[in-house]
Structure 1
Amino acid sequence: MKMRTCFIACLLSFNACLFAQQRIDNLARPSQYGIFVLVGYQIASQSLDHLKANIIERRNLSENNWIKLVEISAPASLEEFKFRLNRFSVYLPDPSAIKQIPAEMLWNKLVEYKKIDSLKAWANTLPVQLALGIAYLDTTAQKEIKYEYRISRVETDGNVKVSYLSNQISYPVKVDFNPIKAIDKQYLDNSIFIQYKSLSGKKPFAVKLFRRDGLAGNYNFIPSLKTISAKGDTIIYSLRDTLIQANQIYQYYILPADYFGSIGNSSDTILVAAYNFSSVPLPKKITVMNLTTGNGLRISWQLTDIQYIKSLRIYRSESWSDKGKLIAEVSPYDSVYSDQNIEPMKIYYYEMEMIGILNEVSPKTAKVYGLYKSTTAPLPPRIKNAVGLKNGISFEIFSDELLIKGYRVYRSNTFDTRLQPISGIVLWNEGKTIFTDSSAELSGKVFYNYAIKAENTSGVLSEFSDTISARPLKPTTPPAPLNLTAKMIGNKIFLSWADMKPFEQSINGYYIYRREISSKGKEISPRKKLTDSLITPSQLSFIDSTFEKGKIYEYSVQIKDLYDGLSDFSSSAVVEIKIKTPIAPAGILAESTPEGIRLTWDEPVNSEGYSYRIYRSKGREKEKPIATITSEPFEFLDKSVVKNERYNYYIRSITKEGTESKSSQMISILK
């Protein structure tokens, strides 16, 4: 409307430019078919006592010469007026508007009043202006070339009274309308109703509806019933196509144009069907079964009418009440779908909906369900990092399978190599699963072998994993040694005990212990090892030569096994190391010599390295030791005597351990 107002303003401005050549803006306007040029607001017609004609000249801006295009005037009759209206209608943005123009009434007004003002609002319409010769469409102009126009008025006497210039212009131009988007479509009462919208701003003067039958071919202009209205900041375009056939598909777009027919960008394309999609039958006989090959569920169905269906959507949920998630969209020619992205032993619910060729969406079908049970065995798991513990054995289990429920643990040992199940299912953990065997029957003396089978969620077992071995660090207690004996032979004590290998294969060796006790069996010194190192299992005796005479010793033996386990002490064996009293010297003789008193005696039998202690007294004094002789000869010279004194002597033998014999016969002598 704004564009048309500017055009009328250009016409009115001519009255101010009658005697000078002047350039007038918006005098020339581009269109889709050429350039519209305004020649004035006065009708050129001798019958109306006005101007004789208007001359229109054109110049290419890249050239200097003017070319005369036309000399135009008003129609001479009503018939010519109607003819011109119909001839120019093809260049208008809305050709159907010609039918609304009351041509005869307008012509009679013009003849009666001889002024264009008498036509009132109709004088401002482009079809009437073209028909009356006050506007001209230059269809000979070349596209993309810039021109200017010169208009001259020729009066009835043939003189040119005035000339003026148009604005510089080229065609076509693209009008910058706001984007037009489809918002609604309906098939109703054998017609198709379409609505578009755009943001308010530069409003089109008219829109043309173009249609393509089916999904291929050319688009053609379609006369339609249409309205353009504003709602807030939005322009609504409502169009109705009544030239359709039932059960057909059509594609539409609209093309906006300004007052002179210059077009903007077309709207987006919309697909409309002349049928009711809700009457298309839904899929039937939907079934869900296990796949016969591969893993998953097989969904099958039947469609009785695929003419209007573009695709089928399949939805899946894990609960009857949950909203299904789209898992597939398939062709209407398909009748089977394999769902392999599921877990075994879980119920899945399926439903379907149809998508029409115009993206219509049907209601969903009723839900059906299926349970997938896999028959494929999982891969064997991996087992590693077996560690002995104080209460058993621990190891790690790994599996790359995704649908593992858990593991079955099997065990054998050194003495029984048959693998036997030892637990219920061990639940799978992401990453690794740690299993600890703390069975009471585990022995720290035995190595155990483990193998694992994986069990999937369908209950199918894998083959055995590799085997791994470990020994629990449970304390071991070998049996105590039996039949310990201890005998004193010569100067050594000989210990011996029974061979324990028949009773215990894991013997690593023996420890020998000794402690001193009293004659009543009470401990005098604590039990101590006689050696730091083990006595080998094959050595069943030990010789002790580190004892002291005159003491009582208690011996015991203990087994240490290969697993650092210690037995209880064996029954003890006691040995008393008796002290042997030496024989007192015999044959004692005393002789007074100038040097003193010389004593001599006989060598005792089995003296075994005795030494001899000399005792002396004088008068009634008590005897005192005065010397100890440790080597031969068997004599002693007492130089500490005094003359005329009587001395008494006796001698005792002394063993190496310091045991003294009884006193020899006493002998007296006067010095």
Structure 2
Amino acid sequence: MKKILFFSVLFISTHLSFSQKANNNLIAVAGKGGIYVSLGRQPISKKAGGKGIRSVKVERKVNDEDFKGLTEMDVPTSRKELTERFRKYDALLPVPSNLDDNTLGKIWEKWEKYQVIDSLKRYITNPSLRMAFGLLYLDEKVQNGNTYSYRISFTGEGLSRSEPYISIPVSLPKRPAVAGLKYLHNISEENKIQVLLSVGKGDKPFFLKAYRQEGLKGNFVPVNVSYVTYLRKGEPTIMLIDEFVKPLTAYRYTIKPFDYFGNEGPLSDTITVAAYTYQNVRIPYNLKALGLSENHAVKLNWEIQSPNIFKSIQIWRSEYYDKDFRLIGETLPTESEFLDKDVLPMKKYYYYLITTGLMGEFSGQTAKFFTLYEDKTAVSAPGNLYVLSHPDGIQLKWQTSEPNLKGYHIYRAGMNDSKFELVRTLLPHNNRLILQEYVDSSGILRPNASYRYFVIAENTSHVMSMPSDTSSGVTGLKVALSPPFAFTAENEMPLVKLHWTAPSAKEEAGISGYEIYRKKTGDGTLVKIVQIGTNVNYFNDSTAVLGASYQYQIKTLGFNGESSKADESGVVLLPVPEIPVPFGLTAYKNELGVILQWDEVRYSDLKEVKLYRYERGAKPQLLASLKPDELSYVDKQTGKGKLFFYYLVSSDRANNQSKPSEEVSVSY
């Protein structure tokens, strides 16, 4: 598998060694399989008599415990041992090394010859090879919840220092945050796809794994890709290159980054790319449009190459050749026809197609093509014809379920006429109404006269329906009505008798009845008190109140809701009769209180007798309201040393009251 590793790889590998020379700490990092501890740039030297590191001792401290020895590092002694060590460590990390046995053999030969790590050049950046040569130690026996520190001691000749190095503490399960990847854009060709990704915050990735879905369906599978890192506007950027693609095929990718120690970063968003240059793709051709009378539609057909590279085919339509095109439908690229049902017969329609690519691209429009269709099917007759009275004449309403209607023809005849005549030709059909409407306001219509109607429909292909069922109705034309005359109102207590004379016999046929109104003199508010028919010419008002004066009005009513002006009567006064004053009031006191008695008030309209009491200088208070047959009352609400005065008042059913009776007084 071909790869171009990050520039950051060199930075990581050199940083692991040189940082421990800059201070007393060395690098220890949690990764896949355990904790990785850097042991410097040079491995143990086996060269006889030479200077360098002769031994490396690794110790570990867990939490607050003391340092304990882990291992004594060494270098492989043979090509076989190098190969075995490398294969063991290479299986732990997700970074495939691509170092075969021949390459490992060449590495061993250079090491044997020079005993210097620089001789291995770019190979030594590989973490598995560094572990094989003792430059990187993997502590596999670690557990979450613990904190680990490492101490490394070097012995040898010519060393710059003899003190041990101590690593920074590592707490598990905390791991380095590997930077995520964000899609920027892509460069596509028929045999290669390049995807540009920006690197987010966190540790820079050391290796990528790419997963791909072919044809936008099926599972994502690992795919061999190459990639290179460079600075774009000062920011690290990755170019991923996939050279194993099929022409005119769409792919989805998702990328997972890893750091030097096998720690995983977040999976990238799904990236959709197609292996083609969309401008070079052939648009639909062999375009045809055919009118289908039996389907009331226009059928469009076309041919298309490589439908798998398209997302959809858009259908655009206009009634004009050069303007007002609008999108009327969108089909899958595997479709090769479209049925346009939103059309009218005998009208020309223009069409063109536009394709959309898998990445949202739009092609240019195809050539324009056109057609029209003629509707030859029979037209159903209008149904549910209603004929209703209308103030301007007669209103017609009807229903129809026919599509593509152009209008209606309306015929009328009198009730005794045998021949219908055309009163409206081609009334336009209104698509927005469920019930079609027409008002016949012809000047020949007479008030309260009946007429018959039927309706014929016509479609846009000029095919006529059969006549609808015949329906009849009465005109709603209003008649000018006169009010009754000689309207009088007379007082015949307790009634007010009203009388009038009907309008002329010429108008009598259009009269449905009368409305009578009343108002109190000085009030001015008219109140409707009755609506009666034409069979009487009088009315007795029994709701008038004695003591008030009234004025009455009367109107003539027509059958179609019309009414005449009002005729007004004279003023009628209903005097209040004098109500008898209660008499014979007496009062005396005993242990129960003040006993009051009086004589019976003989008056047929008497409602009640009211008893009042007061003290000198105070306002009289109502003590009791008594029925006409109650002739006594006991006042128990008294007090010693007080003087009370009592009197009676009579009240009729209209709440008219008499004068007060003579007073009586009692000292308690």
For the aligned pair, the TM-score class normalised by the smaller chain equals 0.5 to 0.7
The answer to whether structure 1 residue 416 and structure 2 residue 417 are counterparts is: yes
Cα deviation, residue 459, structure 1: 4.4
Would you say the 8 A contact 1:130–1:136 is kept in 2? yes
Amino acid at match of 2:45: S
The answer to whether structure 1 residue 265 and structure 2 residue 266 are counterparts is: yes
Cα deviation, residue 52, structure 1: 3.1
Instruction: State the TM-score, normalizing by the size of structure 1.
Output: 0.53
Taking a change above 3 Å as real, the CA distance of residues 408 and 335 of structure 1, as seen in their structure-2 partners, is: same
Taking a change above 3 Å as real, the CA distance of residues 319 and 68 of structure 1, as seen in their structure-2 partners, is: farther
Amino acid at match of 1:53: S
- What is the alpha-carbon distance in structure 2 between the residues aligned to residue 10 and residue 127 of structure 1? 16
Would you say the 8 A contact 1:58–1:66 is kept in 2? yes
Cα deviation, residue 40, structure 1: 4.8
Listed one character per residue, the Cα deviations across residues 71-128 of structure 1 (whole Å, up to 9, x for unaligned) are: 32356799999998898778485858999xx98999799868x9x9x99999999678
- What is the alpha-carbon distance in structure 1 between the residues aligned to residue 12 and residue 227 of structure 2? 26
Taking a change above 3 Å as real, the CA distance of residues 111 and 455 of structure 1, as seen in their structure-2 partners, is: same
Q: Which residue of 2 aligns with 1:204?
A: 204
- What is the alpha-carbon distance in structure 1 between the residues aligned to residue 70 and residue 472 of structure 2? 105
Matches within 5 A, 1:617-632: none
Taking a change above 3 Å as real, the CA distance of residues 5 and 309 of structure 1, as seen in their structure-2 partners, is: closer
Q: Which residue of 2 aligns with 1:447?
A: 450
Amino acid at match of 2:185: I
Would you say the 8 A contact 1:392–1:436 is kept in 2? yes
Taking a change above 3 Å as real, the CA distance of residues 418 and 196 of structure 1, as seen in their structure-2 partners, is: farther
Matches within 5 A, 1:46-85: 47=47, 48-56=50-58, 70-74=71-75
- Which of 467, 473, 486 matches 1:469? 473
Would you say the 8 A contact 1:212–1:220 is kept in 2? yes
Q: Which residue of 1 aligns with 2:317?
A: 316
Taking a change above 3 Å as real, the CA distance of residues 248 and 412 of structure 1, as seen in their structure-2 partners, is: closer
Q: Which residue of 1 aligns with 2:337?
A: 336
Aligned to 2:408, what secondary structure does the other structure show? strand
Listed one character per residue, the Cα deviations across residues 383-434 of structure 1 (whole Å, up to 9, x for unaligned) are: 5473355x74445566677755443222121122444321122234544665
- What is the alpha-carbon distance in structure 2 between the residues aligned to residue 164 and residue 207 of structure 1? 29
- What is the alpha-carbon distance in structure 1 between the residues aligned to residue 68 and residue 380 of structure 2? 92
Listed one character per residue, the Cα deviations across residues 585-618 of structure 1 (whole Å, up to 9, x for unaligned) are: xxxxxxxxxxxxxxxxxxxxxxxxxxxxxxxxxx
Q: Which residue of 2 aligns with 1:237?
A: 238
- What is the alpha-carbon distance in structure 1 between the residues aligned to residue 281 and residue 19 of structure 2? 62
Matches within 5 A, 1:112-127: none
Matches within 5 A, 1:634-653: none
Q: Which residue of 2 aligns with 1:368?
A: 369
Would you say the 8 A contact 1:152–1:161 is kept in 2? no
Would you say the 8 A contact 1:211–1:250 is kept in 2? no
Would you say the 8 A contact 2:67–2:151 is kept in 1? no
Further displaced range: 36-45 or 120-129: 120-129
Aligned to 1:424, what secondary structure does the other structure show? strand
Aligned alpha-carbon RMSD (Å): 5.5
- What is the alpha-carbon distance in structure 2 between the residues aligned to residue 143 and residue 248 of structure 1? 47
Taking a change above 3 Å as real, the CA distance of residues 218 and 173 of structure 1, as seen in their structure-2 partners, is: farther
Q: Which residue of 1 aligns with 2:567?
A: none
Amino acid at match of 2:155: E
Query: Any gaps of 5 or more consecutive residues in structure 1?
Result: 18-23, 477-505, 510-532, 535-561, 564-671
Q: Which residue of 2 aligns with 1:31?
A: 31
- What is the alpha-carbon distance in structure 2 between the residues aligned to residue 147 and residue 283 of structure 1? 67
The answer to whether structure 1 residue 299 and structure 2 residue 300 are counterparts is: yes
- Which of 180, 183, 186 matches 2:185? 183
Instruction: State the TM-score, normalizing by the size of structure 2.
Output: 0.54
- What is the alpha-carbon distance in structure 2 between the residues aligned to residue 457 and residue 428 of structure 1? 10
Amino acid at match of 1:447: S
Q: Which residue of 2 aligns with 1:8?
A: 15
Would you say the 8 A contact 1:153–1:162 is kept in 2? yes
Would you say the 8 A contact 1:150–1:165 is kept in 2? yes
The answer to whether structure 1 residue 287 and structure 2 residue 288 are counterparts is: yes
- What is the alpha-carbon distance in structure 2 between the residues aligned to residue 93 and residue 228 of structure 1? 20
Taking a change above 3 Å as real, the CA distance of residues 83 and 330 of structure 1, as seen in their structure-2 partners, is: same
Q: Percent identity?
A: 23
Cα deviation, residue 186, structure 1: 0.9
Taking a change above 3 Å as real, the CA distance of residues 290 and 12 of structure 1, as seen in their structure-2 partners, is: closer
- What is the alpha-carbon distance in structure 2 between the residues aligned to residue 296 and residue 187 of structure 1? 41
Matches within 5 A, 1:215-614: 215=215, 216=218, 219-231=221-233, 236-244=237-245, 250-274=251-275, 281-291=282-292, 293-303=294-304, 306=307, 308=309, 311-322=312-323, 324-355=325-356, 361-374=362-375, 375=377, 377=379, 380=382, 383-384=385-386, 386-387=388-389, 389=391, 392-395=393-396, 404-429=405-430, 430-431=432-433, 435-444=438-447, 446-461=449-464, 464=468, 467-471=471-475, 473=477
Listed one character per residue, the Cα deviations across residues 524-583 of structure 1 (whole Å, up to 9, x for unaligned) are: xxxxxxxxx99xxxxxxxxxxxxxxxxxxxxxxxxxxx99xxxxxxxxxxxxxxxxxxxx
Aligned to 2:189, what secondary structure does the other structure show? strand
Would you say the 8 A contact 1:214–1:249 is kept in 2? yes
Cα deviation, residue 457, structure 1: 4.6
- What is the alpha-carbon distance in structure 1 between the residues aligned to residue 324 and residue 211 of structure 2? 39
Would you say the 8 A contact 1:180–1:266 is kept in 2? no
Listed one character per residue, the Cα deviations across residues 327-379 of structure 1 (whole Å, up to 9, x for unaligned) are: 44434443332222444454333323445667665443222223354446367
Would you say the 8 A contact 1:34–1:172 is kept in 2? no
Amino acid at match of 1:8: H
Would you say the 8 A contact 1:378–1:460 is kept in 2? no
- What is the alpha-carbon distance in structure 2 between the residues aligned to residue 33 and residue 354 of structure 1? 52
Taking a change above 3 Å as real, the CA distance of residues 218 and 392 of structure 1, as seen in their structure-2 partners, is: closer
Amino acid at match of 2:450: F
Cα deviation, residue 447, structure 1: 2.0
Listed one character per residue, the Cα deviations across residues 486-532 of structure 1 (whole Å, up to 9, x for unaligned) are: xxxxxxxxxxxxxxxxxxxx9989xxxxxxxxxxxxxxxxxxxxxxx
Would you say the 8 A contact 1:404–1:456 is kept in 2? yes
Would you say the 8 A contact 2:10–2:125 is kept in 1? no
Taking a change above 3 Å as real, the CA distance of residues 110 and 174 of structure 1, as seen in their structure-2 partners, is: same
Q: Which residue of 2 aligns with 1:155?
A: 155
Would you say the 8 A contact 1:210–1:220 is kept in 2? yes
Aligned to 1:136, what secondary structure does the other structure show? strand
- What is the alpha-carbon distance in structure 1 between the residues aligned to residue 87 and residue 324 of structure 2? 62
Amino acid at match of 2:389: V
Would you say the 8 A contact 1:291–1:338 is kept in 2? no
Amino acid at match of 1:204: K
Computing the radius of gyration from Cα coordinates, the structure with the larger value is: 1
Query: Any gaps of 5 or more consecutive residues in structure 2?
Result: 1-7, 481-506, 511-533, 536-558, 561-668
Listed one character per residue, the Cα deviations across residues 185-238 of structure 1 (whole Å, up to 9, x for unaligned) are: 3116xx413122337544734452625473445523424252333226x65432
Taking a change above 3 Å as real, the CA distance of residues 144 and 321 of structure 1, as seen in their structure-2 partners, is: farther
Taking a change above 3 Å as real, the CA distance of residues 456 and 209 of structure 1, as seen in their structure-2 partners, is: farther
